[in-house]
Structure 1
Amino acid sequence: MCVIVCFPFFFSLAQGSIPEPHDFLRLMKQKIFSLGVVQTEGGKVEGKSYRMGLFRTVEVFKGIPFADVPGKWEKPKPHPGWSGILKATKYRDRCLQVTLLQTKTQGSEDCLYLNIFVPQGRSVSSGLPVMVYLFGGAFLLGASNDVAILGDSLYDGKEMADRGNVIVVTVNYRVGTLGFLSTGDDRMPGNYGLWDQHAAISWVRRNIQAFGGSPYNLTIFGQSAGAASVSYQMLSPYSKGLFRRAITQCGVALSPWALQRKPMALTKKIARKVGCSRSNEDEMITCLKMSDPVGLTMVTSVTFRPSAGVVMDLLELGPVIDGDFVPDEPSRLFHNAAEFDYLAGVNSMDGHIFAGVDVPSINMRNATTVDEVKSVLTGLTRDKGAAAAASAFSAYSSIWGSFPEQDVVKKTVSDIETDFLFLVPTQIALQLHANNSSGARTYSYLFNMKTRIPGFPRWVEAEHAEDLQYLFGKPFSTPLVYFPRHRDLAGYMIAYWTNFARTGSNGTGLAYSKYTALSFYVDYWTKTYSSLPVTRGEEAVNQPSL
């Protein structure tokens, strides 16, 4: 960017004509273009411009409604619109949810809003690629403006918009009980949060041209539960022609935590907690619909107790197979994603934070025992019984040797959860996309910058969600807490992601390959483990071999 912006000045020096001071001041004061008041389908909006550099600003529109206040367990409805000019300069409430400490609730039922970040230079932007971000948070919490870092949201899109010359959109959607509770049938089909996301993407498609974006060059991207959401949007028949590309970071619809297979059982459990337990299911549902939204939200809090089994067991609310938005097993829906270019990857230690809850000793000085490793595998492979756990332990301990060092044993626990919860499902999704593609491209990545979280052992690499600070340019916006290598990484990530959004290529030529993307453990889970029989009487889901 500097070469392009500064070239006229350097050219004048080469010609021996140094600009006078007043000429330079005139250049500095030259008009920076902006959209001003923008007409949307609901009414007029006006944002605020933020200076990013010489002749560069980002125009930010916060809190634009993309749907009306949703009814309880109803699909989103079109917004009725407004009169006058909406001053879109403040974020709106997040959707009703538990706080991070889960001691109370925050947010509102009036929450279906989005934010738009538009880069501007010496002419009004037009025809820009558009990137729509879906936040993560276990389908329980999160917001389009989540986690303030020195004043700015983690998902503040200014740096990505400016450095990548793309429009960034961040979106709210319902989470927790109000977003994902389901009876597994037409009475409360579920997936309301997914419908919210679909409504937001559709709104962007219809309105983004007025903000200088191309409605025909939309990329959706997300992390963790937001990545699984992107995956579901790709696989849904309702998305045909809606967007062009998709990026999933650390999660896919095939992840074992991303699908609720027993929705009615969960709904009955929640009904008991709020005093709506009834022998008649219709009466139970009526009672739930009359219940206080705050009380319904509080019962979804997750208490991380060592005795509760593996963390995955506690993450119960999420998308369901509803026969509509998600009409079948996710693994059988990749024909719907054939037209979307796809980039997917994981962090090298995505599972570490979960492994640290299941086996706290991995982050402590005291020893991690063989029994603790086996216990994690028993919890993860419970559907296939003791033989599966023994098989998996044999695979993961095969590199230990006779007297394994403690760091090796501890790291193994992290690797197990990373592979099972994130890496393997992502590799399967990549292969299914490549197999079903009708000309669309498939790319894979691995993010492995060493963790910046203090207090963790030396062997810990990229923790879950640590990629986001770089993608959203925090090393540039808050430079004092980062080193030059972090700014280099942030620059590369923004370039890779925005190049992909612009052209469908990541700029490196490194496409996904089933031969180079695999590890020994991916091969184990997708072939050896997947061939073992289910022993708990549950319907077996055929996972394809890679």
Structure 2
Amino acid sequence: MMRALGLSVAIGLFLEMASGASLGTVYTEGGLVEGKNIRLGYKHHMDVFKGIPFAGMPGRFEKPERHPGWDGILKAFEYRPRCLQLNLIMTSTRGSEDCLYLNIWVPHHRSVSTKLPVMVWIYGGAFLWGGSMGANFLNNYLYSGQEIADRGDVIVVTVAYRLGPLGFLSTGDSGMPGNYGLWDQQAAIAWVSRNIRSFGGDPDNITVFGESAGSASVSFQTITPHNKGLFKRAISQSGTALCPWAVNRNPRRLAEEVALKVNCPTDDRMAACLKMTDPVSLTMAGTIPITSSPDSPLVFNLVLAATIDGDFLPDEPSTLFHNAADIDYIAGANDMDGHLFTGLDVPTINSHLLHTPVNDVKRLLGSYTREKGLAGMESGFLTYSSTWGTNPDQETIKKTVVEIGTDYIFLIPTQAALYLHANATSGRTYSYLFSQPNRMGGLVLPYPSWMGADHADDLQYVFGKPLTSPLGYWPSHRDVSRYLIHYWTNFAKSGDPNRGLDVPATWPRFDSNSHQYLEINSEMNRGYVRQRLRMRYVHFWGNILPQLSLLKFL
């Protein structure tokens, strides 16, 4: 009896696997593509395509062109190399110029999926580092779209784009206008719009999302005039087009510095020479200083960025939000996003033993407000020390350093972008603050016990790592991962993060009156809807500081 039962179960499983839902060979504009079909459960499969070209190998400092296509069936089984970039310690390079590929995850249940919402991921990395697959540990890639696609019933696409000098160097004129990495992203979004129907996706329901430099890139993609009608929604995680590091307004200076490093002239022959220079040498010439101090913060070294080229960005980003008129938008920051930077600028904040002088707070503020001179620093210090009392302890001072960095580098520009989006568009607007405490806080240096969510801490949760690697996480981590995936995919489906999969709190829309936002962490409940995020500091950076005199403190 048991043998017969076992045999029937085996036969059933075999038949289910043999008839599992799969797209099979897919027709794209470039040719036929075959991915891998994986079984996730009973009548529960997923097609995974890795390394589909969305453009040809780009010309040096040129916009991407459509891929010429291929003969036969492209076996899209493996990730393609990252775009040529520095290694993390900037001693050598890795990757390839032939790098404009994307990856697709398509979930299926009882039948092959059709008209699924689509989520296109743009990675971060200061416009210097990164790849469409993300960091890898034991073949567990950070940006695997499997968990989001499976739990949210959406198609996930991750895309590559050029980095460093090859992606963002500009002479500030028509010779090399820059923004090549942004054009790559735009080409990938356009490819998805043209081809995703063949993969079971809905080309009329595309969401673009990203983090850090990828988050600012998402913001740029919403405001450029070149994306009209290509996607409906966007999510920016820790970065917008208004961040102080997102736009280089003097690109010529950097181009001349790079030219001198690679033995090119800095006159009208510079662009032609740079275009003929060895790509590895060009990439190495984009190395940034890694030393910093309160007087010379790390964020000021991030000079490879977008440029106002008169084309992709025809004007200052703050004037272009009308181009996002129909786009639904979520934007937010981590509550201690600035720690990654200020921990290098003011290393004592990470020490239980070393004292952080109040003067270091003033020096950092003085750097961030340097265009207003002494008046900017003094006004800023009055603002940030107003809650200290008469005798602040060291934890208060150290946290203030992180708050200043978080506000200047990420949070205040995000609030400004939310305000512009809510007032200049008909699309829905949502604001959040991610505050899940860092997993290393109090356990591993350099993370103090008071740490909140550091820069990039949200990534592991958005991509479901606590759910795919449960031994490395607590149940609370799995909760916050589910919350983020549910909010993000609900939003991708309908433009409403509350509609669809269960969420712990109803997330209200942001407007310029109440400034409502959602605080996201594992403890959240209905009471985690807040108002007027850090309004005292938003007011300082947005209203008080711009009006200060350079000559005296008002």
- With normalisation by structure 1, the TM-score equals 0.92
* Separation of aligned partners in 1, 2:106 and 2:115: 11
- Give the partner amino acid of 1:531: Q
Runs of 5+ unmatched residues, structure 1: 1-18, 536-546
Residue 524 (structure 1) aligns with: 540
- State the SS of the aligned residue for 1:530: helix
Residue type at the aligned position of 2:313 = V
Match of 1:488 in 2: 479
Q: What CA distance in whole angstroms lies between the structure 1 residues aligned with 2:12 and 2:413?
A: 53
Asked if 1 retains the 8 angstrom alpha-carbon contact of 2:356 and 2:394, the reply is yes
Deviation at 1:200, TM superposition (A): 0.3
Structure 2 match to 1:250: 238
The question of whether the paired residues in 2 share the 8 Å contact of 1:28 and 1:55 is answered with no
Q: TM-score, normalised by structure 2?
A: 0.91
Distance 2:142 2:83 in 1: 17
Residues of 2 paired with 1:379 and 1:24: CA distance? 69
What is the aligned partner in structure 2 of residue 277 from structure 1? 265
Per-residue CA distance 1:300-335 (angstroms, 9 max, x = gap): 122311357101111010000001110000000000
Q: Could you tell me which residue of structure 1 aligns to residue 314 of structure 2?
A: 327
Q: State the partner residue of 1:181.
A: 169
1:205-256 deviation digits (Å, cap 9, x = unpaired): 0000000000000000000000000000000001111100000000000000
**Runs of 4+ that moved beyond 3 A:** 19-29
Q: Tell me, in whole angstroms, the C-alpha distance in 2 between the residues paired with 1:425 and 1:146.
A: 26
- The one-letter amino acid paired with 2:540 is Y
Q: 1:155 aligns with which of 143, 149, 153?
A: 143
Question: Which secondary structure state, in structure 1, belongs to the residue aligned with residue 38 of structure 2?
Answer: strand
Does residue 502 (structure 1) correspond to residue 502 (structure 2)? The answer is no
Displacement of 1:21 in angstroms is: 6.2
Q: In structure 1, how many angstroms separate the alpha carbons of the residues matched to 2:151 and 2:546? A: 43
- Equivalent AA in structure 2 for residue 249 of structure 1: Q
Alignment of 1:422-441 (within 5 A): 422-438=410-426, 440-441=427-428
Cα offset, 1:141, TM superposition = 1.0
Equivalent position of 1:14 in the other structure: none
DSSP-derived class of the 1:306 partner: coil
Letter of the structure 1 residue corresponding to residue 85 of structure 2: Q
Shift of 1:27: 5.1
What do the CA deviations read for 1:463-491 (whole angstroms, capped 9, x no partner)? 10010101101011111101111111111
Conserved? CA contact 1:361–1:368, under 8 Å: yes
C-alpha contact 1:136 1:222 (8 A) present in aligned 2: yes
Q: Within the alignment, does 1:268 sit opposite 2:284 as a pair?
A: no
Paired residue for 2:438, among 443, 446, 451?
A: 451
Does structure 1 conserve the Cα–Cα contact (< 8 Å) formed by 2:144 and 2:463?
A: yes
- Cα offsets for 1:420-475 (capped at 9, x unmatched): 1111100110010010112x110111110000133211111001001010110101
Alpha-carbon distance, 1:116 to partner:
0.4
Distance (Å, rounded) in 2 between the aligned partners of 1:436 and 1:58: 40
Using the alignment, how far apart are the partners of 2:242 and 2:305 within structure 1?
12
Deviation at 1:150, TM superposition (A): 3.1
Conserved? CA contact 1:38–1:210, under 8 Å: yes
Q: Counterpart of 2:452?
A: 461
- Residue of structure 2 aligned with 1:345, choices 332, 338, 343: 332
Q: How far off its partner does 1:201 sit?
A: 0.2
CA distance in 2, matches of 1:302, 1:266: 11
- AA aligned opposite 1:513: D
Alignment partner of 1:51 out of 35, 39, 45: 39
Among 349, 356, 362, the residue aligned to 1:368: 356
Alignment check: 8 A CA contact 2:375 2:550 kept: no
Separation in structure 2 between the aligned mates of residue 228 and residue 92 of structure 1, nearest angstrom: 24
1:73 to 47, 54, 61: 61
Match of 2:195 among 203, 207, 214: 207
Give the aligned residue type for 2:235.
Answer: I
Give the distance between the partners of 2:387 and 2:263, measured in 1 at CA.
52
Give the 5 Å matches for 1:88-487: 88-278=76-266, 281-306=267-292, 309-364=296-351, 365-438=353-426, 440-453=427-440, 454-455=444-445, 456-487=447-478
Separation in 1, partners of 2:486, 2:162 = 31
CA deviations 1:400-430 (Å, max 9, x no partner) are 1111110000000000010111111001100
CA-to-aligned-CA distance 1:162-217 (integer Å, 9 cap, x gap)? 00000000000001000000111111110000000000000000000000000000
User: What CA distance in whole angstroms lies between the structure 2 residues aligned with 1:338 and 1:189?
Assistant: 26
Q: CA deviation at 1:277?
A: 3.4
Deviation at 1:52, TM superposition (A): 2.3
> What's the CA shift for 1:147?
0.4
Maintained 8 Å contact 1:150/1:478: no
RMSD of the alignment, in Å?
A: 1.5
2:55, 2:550 → 1: CA distance?
43
Answer with 295-304 or 173-182: which moved more. Answer: 295-304
Return the alpha-carbon distance in structure 2 between the equivalents of residues 93 and 466 of structure 1. 25
Residues 341-395 of structure 1, C-alpha deviations (whole Å, 9 max, x = no match): 0011111100011010100000012010011111111111112212101110111
CA 1:23–1:63 in 2, change beyond 3 Å: closer, same or farther?
A: same
**Aligned counterparts of 1:77 and 1:481: Cα–Cα separation in 2:** 43
Partners of 1:53 and 1:406 lie apart in 2 by: 52
State, as a whole percentage, how many aligned pairs show the same letter: 55
Does the aligned pair in 2 maintain the 1:57–1:119 contact within 8 Å?
yes
Match of 1:40 among 28, 44, 54: 28
